[in-house]
Amino acid sequence: ELIINQKPWGIILFKRNVKNMDQLKELTSRIRFLMRDPCYPIMIDEEGGRVSRLSGIVDISNFPQKLFGKLFEKNKSLGINSYNEYLHFICQILKESGININTIPVLDILKNNTHKVIGDRSYSKNLNTINVLKKLCFTVLNKFKIGSVSKHIPGHGCSNIDTHKKLSVVNNSLDSLFKKDFKAFKNTESKFSMTAHIIYKKIDPKNCATHSKKMINLIRKKIGFTNIIMSDDLSMKALKFSISENTKKAFTAGCNLVLHCNGNLKE
């Protein structure tokens, strides 16, 4: 009823929506039938490691992004070949199941104080490692015609807060942010980027990136991301307003899409 009447731009699926491959294929087919669009956007968070929504189909809990970063830093060809095989495996499952957007890669650069909510979801502390592996990620996803979503732009690695639970304020200098965190998001070939619910105090002391015209403008002009910007989940506790107000503020700031993930139909 929601899909037919409200016609959302796309749908994001979670572990609660995925029991097995047959059920998932039926679900994605049904959604596209209702929308009368064979290419209708159906998205999932399938990062590997701790963030895996396909555990009803395949167990990839031992394959976080950081594993491939470590492999690459020990042996470049081993790291690249392993990550390439892994991405092909995941993309084949996504393609068969009818999912055409995956919210990877996580481009947050690890710091000493990075909150564990990011942790092994990130490739590395090393910018070169991130740049090499993100390029491979874009290449393989493009090959399978699966949209990639770089996150959490302009960088969550500088935060020691879990934004699912609380708003984060980062005091890092502009020089530090541009040389590390923001730089990881330059030259991304993603069709999408997902915002961080973080206040970067030196740029906009009042609004988190999702709600900040200054930050979205920086993402466009300084970082150079020109494709679709979507918010992170609007039902996260970092955002203190109602869903309606959070939505309006995100669009006013310059987000092209907003993401709602808790499955609360009233909202």
The pLDDT tens digits for 71-80 are 999 999 999 9
- 152, containing H or E segment: strand 147-153
Nearest to 98 by CA among 180, 162, 172, 37: 37
Q: pLDDT per residue over 205-263, tens digit each? A: 999 999 999 999 999 999 999 999 999 999 999 999 999 999 999 999 999 999 999 99
Rounded Cα gap, residues 256 and 253, in angstroms = 9
Is 90 exceeded by the pLDDT of residue 150? yes
Query: How many other β-carbons are positioned within 10 Å of the β-carbon of residue 211?
Result: 26
pLDDT at position 196 is 97
Nearest 5°: phi and psi at 111? -125, 175
Counting residues of the chain whose pLDDT is more than 90, the rounded percentage is 98
Where is pLDDT greater, at 263 or 29? 29
Question: Does the reported pTM lie above 0.85?
Answer: yes
Conformation bin of residue 236: beta by default, left when phi > 0, alpha when psi is -120 to 50: beta
Q: Which two tokens stand for residue 79?
A: 């790291």
Give the helix ranges, DSSP H, for 20-75: 21-35, 65-74
d(CA 131, CA 88): 19
How many whole angstroms separate alpha carbon 259 and alpha carbon 90? 23
Q: Is the peptide bond before 105 cis (omega within 30 degrees of 0)?
A: yes
pLDDT of residue 265: 87
115 close to 157: Cβ distance less than 8 angstroms? no
pLDDT value for 229: 98
Dist CA 211 CA 224 (whole Å) = 19
Mean pLDDT of the chain, nearest integer: 96
Cβ-contact 83, 72 below 8 angstroms: yes
For residue 133, the tally of other CB atoms under 10 A from its CB is: 24
In this prediction, residue 60 has a pLDDT band, given cuts at 50, 70 and 90, of very high
For the residues 12-26, what does the mean pLDDT come to? 97
Q: What are phi and psi of 184, to 5 degrees?
A: -65, -20
Q: Would you say the C-alpha torsion 158, 161, 167, 169 has a positive or negative sign?
A: negative
